[in-house]
């Protein structure tokens, strides 16, 4: 199947005020909403990581294995801490894949009038590297890439926090607003831009929307975490 390319979608229609799915031509309101929709698998992967790293182990008795294996560096702090587990990494990555399928299922199409709910497979053809198992397999892999990108950035943030002396061991947690929010978003964006071309998710036309979204990501991330905390998916509201 060949999805419409980004450049083939209708151009800006000034009389009607309709926009095309190219963030550089979107208003400051629509551009970040489009990016948030396309990168939703990355933005919500922290919640599915908690499902895999906390809920399932607690309900099944499966051990939650820390990625760092308990390793302590020369500064006396853990490499990453107990909060980053292989279980959570798998949950966040696979959860991103399922969320990618959800955004694809809920997308009305690839027309300018569908914004910001543009199909993430816009621009993709069957020769894309992630076209595995048809369109649903492709969008699952696409979501997994964003989910893994989120997990990689989140782990990088934890690494820096540990080096700064912010401990996270067992139920003891720590809060660092920018390190808890920006690394996962920046990493998800990088993974999308570097690995998901020719999908609209990998389009450089999203840069303006990404920049705006990064400015408000701390608020969005805090809101999602508060929701996850109230639902019992997170042990802390950050």
Helix, coil or strand: residue 26:
coil
pLDDT of residue 118: 94
Contact assessment for residue 23 and residue 205, using Cβ atoms and an 8 Å cutoff? yes
Contact assessment for residue 77 and residue 163, using Cβ atoms and an 8 Å cutoff? yes
Neighbours of 120 (CB within 10 A): 28
Per run of 10 residues, the mean pLDDT along the chain (length 238 residues) is 55 36 64 95 90 84 91 91 92 97 94 87 94 96 98 93 72 62 92 95 92 86 72 64
Burial grade of 161 (CB within 10 A; 0-12, 13-18, 19 or more): buried
Q: Which of 180, 181, 156, 206 is nearest to 39 (CA)?
A: 206
pLDDT of residue 117: 94
The pTM of the full predicted model, rounded to 2 decimals, is 0.82
Length of the chain: 238
Q: 154-199: per-residue pLDDT in tens? A: 999 989 988 888 765 444 455 666 777 789 999 999 999 999 999 9
pLDDT of residue 97: 98
- How far is CA 237 from its chain centroid? 19
pLDDT of residue 23: 46
Q: Which of 39, 9, 2 is nearest to 126 (CA)?
A: 2
């Amino acid at each position: 199947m060949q999805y419409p390319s980004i450049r083939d979608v209708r151009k800006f229609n000034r009389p009607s005020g309709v926009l095309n799915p190219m963030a550089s031509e979107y208003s400051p309101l629509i551009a970040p909403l489009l990016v948030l929709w396309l990168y939703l698998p990355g933005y919500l992967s922290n919640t599915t990581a908690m499902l895999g790293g906390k809920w399932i182990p607690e309900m099944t008795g499966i051990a939650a294995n820390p990625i760092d294996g308990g390793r302590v560096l020369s500064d006396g702090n853990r490499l990453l801490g107990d909060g980053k587990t292989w279980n959570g990494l798998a949950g966040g990555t696979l959860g991103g894949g399922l969320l990618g399928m959800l955004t694809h299922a809920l997308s009305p199409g690839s027309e300018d009038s569908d914004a910001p709910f543009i199909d993430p497979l816009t621009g993709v053809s069957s020769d894309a590297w992630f076209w595995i198992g048809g369109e649903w397999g492709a969008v699952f892999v696409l979501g997994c890439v964003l989910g893994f990108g989120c997990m990689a950035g989140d782990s990088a943030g934890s690494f820096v926090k540990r080096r700064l002396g912010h401990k996270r061991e067992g139920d003891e947690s720590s809060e660092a607003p920018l390190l808890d929010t920006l690394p996962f978003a920046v990493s998800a964006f990088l993974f999308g831009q570097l690995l998901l071309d020719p999908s609209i998710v990998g389009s450089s036309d999203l840069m303006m929307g990404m920049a705006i979204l990064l400015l408000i990501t701390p608020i969005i991330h805090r809101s999602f975490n508060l929701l996850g905390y109230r639902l019992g998916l997170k042990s802390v509201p950050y």
